[in-house]
Amino acid sequence: MVDYFTLPTGEKIELPPRCSESPDPVHHWFGLTYSAYFVMPRLALQSMPVDWQRRFVALMEECDDLDLVTPEYSVLRRDARGRYCEDPWRDYRRGRAASCDPSWKKMEARR
């Protein structure tokens, strides 16, 4: 079975075989990293196309319906030297990711 991801433009992208054919796709998506967490700033989520946001929310609601419970966490940004630093991504109120990272301007133009 081949899985596809549909872009906001309607274009379909075939997922790599390691994800679509795996019995444990999230594990394979993380690959050989040592990451135990996936963190996505709210500002980035709000900057995605509305259709994408609706699918994300539906998945989060599905987690709620399944009573998925995890501990509470806090996130603090560190610079390349490991020191705590300011995080422009924290200001999610009415913001957009392009204000923090110019590479998001193309994404936001598709909204």
Are 53 and 102 in the same domain? Answer: yes
Are 26 and 46 in the same domain? Answer: no
Are 8 and 57 in the same domain? Answer: no
CB 92 within 8 A of CB 42: yes
Are 56 and 100 in the same domain? Answer: yes
Are 46 and 88 in the same domain? Answer: yes
Full residue range of the structural domain in which residue 13 is found? 1-38
- In three-state form (DSSP H/G/I as H, E/B as E, the rest C), the secondary structure along the chain is CCCEEECCCCCEEECCHHHHCCCCHHHHHHCCCCCCCCCCCHHHHHHCCHHHHHHHHHHHHHHHHCCCCCCCCCCCCECCCCCECCCHHHCCCCCCHHHCCHHHHHHHHCC
Q: How confident is the model at residue 94, as a pLDDT?
A: 64
Are 19 and 45 in the same domain? Answer: no
Are 54 and 10 in the same domain? Answer: no
Are 23 and 70 in the same domain? Answer: no
Q: How confident is the model at residue 108, as a pLDDT?
A: 60
Q: How confident is the model at residue 56, as a pLDDT?
A: 95
Are 50 and 92 in the same domain? Answer: yes
Q: How confident is the model at residue 98, as a pLDDT?
A: 72
The per-residue pLDDT string of the chain (111 residues; one tens digit each, 9 = 90 and over) reads: 567 778 778 888 777 666 667 788 888 888 878 889 999 998 889 888 899 999 999 999 999 999 988 999 999 999 999 999 998 888 776 667 777 777 776 666 666
Q: How confident is the model at residue 57, as a pLDDT?
A: 96
Q: For the chain, how far is it from start to end, CA to CA, in angstroms?
A: 30
Q: How confident is the model at residue 72, as a pLDDT?
A: 92
The number of distinct structural domains making up the chain is 2
Are 21 and 58 in the same domain? Answer: no
